Chain A
Amino acid sequence: MNLAARQEDFARAQVGTPSLGPAPLAARGLSVSYGVKPALIGVDAIFPPGRMIAVIGPNGAGKSTFLKAALGLAPKIAGEVEIFGKPVDQAYGRFAYVPQRASVDWDFPTQALDVVSMGLYRELGLMGRFRGEHKRRALAALERVGMADFADRQIGRLSGGQQQRVFLARALAQNADLYLLDEPFAGVDAATERAIVEVLKGLQAEGRTVVCVHHDLATAREYFDYALLLNLRKIAEGPIREVLTVGDLQRTYGGRLTEAQLAAFGAPGGAGG
């Protein structure tokens, strides 16, 4: 079945919901390899709109790679991806990507507000003037993540949690319909994690779609309502209660989960959450 047909199926499956249009993110047969080592093998996924979606799997399962390949940031060797029914290069402006915090040089000579302003690039273009209105919007985005007081701080002088908030504010400034975050909770303090979750749930409440690479099984059910389980291949996809079952998790993590971790989920479809 081709992607368009799958999209129609998907649309039909949204019983009782008004016309949703194409899925925020649809991938078919997505395969990536770094050198000879496969990083992702034939992954199909169709993410429904307006959900908090977790991409879950063990280390090296290809979670970040899935996100990057979906956005054309990692070279795919096979497969197709559509964002809101269009190829990625026609969907710029509708999605916002938050890379892993460790992927950039925080010594860079720039301030928090300046980083957030980078989120306005598609509106400003090469030479468009950065006006007072733009500055207000960038400040409002910083305010939303509780970082307005640090607007003029060089980014290397922020804590890890503060840096992550600045990255989120940059995405907020993009005013996108689909947010894709790579490990937004990695190495941040508890207060920041709560603040980020709150902002993400706010985005969902506005009808936007949020996708996070996530590795903490203990919080997955609390934060997300839909999940894609990966371990090089797709293991399962669907509403999180249906997907985070002992069987699926065993298949995702192999023997790597401890009894205690599994117990947290109870029996398949059980009482948890």
Chain B
Amino acid sequence: MMGEDFVRFSLAPLLIGALAAMACALPGNFLLLRRQAMIGDAISHVVLPGIVVAFLLTGSVSTWPMLLGALGAAAVSAVLIELVRRIGRVEPGAAMGVVFTTLFALGVLLLERASLGNVHLDVQHALYGNLESLIWLRSSGWASLTDPKALATLPEELPRMAAVAGLMGLLTLIFWRPLKISTFDEGFARSLGIPVRMVSFGLVLAAAAACVAAFDAVGSIIVIAMLVCPPATARLMTDRLATQVWLSLAFAVFAAVLGYVLAGYGPLWLGGEDSVSAAGMIATVSGLTLGIAALYGPHRRRDEAGEPQAL
């Protein structure tokens, strides 16, 4: 009966968590190498008010209005950052920090008002997601995986997250060369005729799409962690870009699975009776993995060979 319980209560959350982690980690690799990892953080903060406003306007939680809302919020935040920077004469990093935190806080307030009388959107959901609640009630063990009727009752987040993760993988494959060349050497990329601004914009757009899709299923904590931690961990393990991207997927899945299991059973093993937030535990595991890689990863030191980089 262990298998039956596992399929019913844990299979869908595990898969959704792993897919969300992979969907975020893929664009995260390139954001990291472009020193734009903060953009991922920014996107996931700005996404919240955007989604809430889109929800307030349309009354639905479907993906497209949410994506548009998130992108609109991203545009507004870009303008606000510029304004704060110029009018307030604040340095860009500080301007970003102020705008994103404020918008995120505004999103929390809006969310509180919006969720009166509505159970689907609430503050906790936005932060931690609702991974644990994405259960497959109609399943009756592994056999359900071949039963079309049972499959139709899978949580809708699963096919959606699978589609988005698949799309991210496809985009990474198709645009691998322009992404790599323009990330490494923008001037050279432009001299080849690669539309570097479109590549750059497309990357941020793809990251935003992954964030929005993952946000609804697993919450913003995982999104922020997965955009940065698996790629950063993978970078410390290899000096090859393709290997880095594959490893980042492996670390993303590792964090999602181990985090989910630890959240569910860890407290029990320690003698407790309750479980802890899966999203929080997944993000914690990914952070700890990065910490271990930073201490012991084979490629953690950059300048041990060759002449000092004076220029």
Contacts and interface: CB of A to CB of B under 8 A. Distances in A.
B177 A157 contact: no
Given A101-B311, A121-B181, A124-B177, A154 B193 contact: no
Of B33, B185, B188, which is in contact with the most chain A CB atoms at under 10 Å from its CB?
Answer: B188
B175 interface: yes
A134 to B, nearest CB: 12
Of A114, A121, A122, which is in contact with the most chain B CB atoms at under 10 Å from its CB?
Answer: A121
Interface residues of B, number: 34
A159 interface: yes
A122 B193 contact: yes
Contacts of B35: 105
Contacts, number: 93
Interface residues of A, number: 40
Interface in A170-209: 170, 186-187
Interface stretch (B8-16, B207-215, B237-245, B268-276): B237-245
Contact of A104 (B174, B180, B185, B310): B185
A19 to B, nearest CB: 28
B239 A71 contact: no
Interface string A139-161: 00000000000000010111110
A230 B180 CA distance: 35
B210 to A, nearest CB: 21
Contacts of A122: 192-193
Contact of A71 (B181, B191, B303): B191
A249 to B, nearest CB: 27
Nearest to A90: B193
Contacts of B311: 101-102, 160, 186-187
Interface of B: 33, 35, 174-175, 177-178, 180-181, 183-185, 187-188, 190-194, 235, 238-241, 243-244, 302-307, 309-311
Given A95-B191, A121-B192, A127-B174, 14 more contacts: A73-B187, A89-B193, A98-B188, A101-B311, A103-B187, A105-B33, A105-B184, A108-B241, A109-B240, A109-B243, A111-B240, A118-B188, A126-B178, A159-B307
Interface of A: 68, 71-73, 89, 92, 95-99, 101-111, 114-115, 118, 121-122, 124, 126-127, 154, 156-160, 162, 170, 186-187
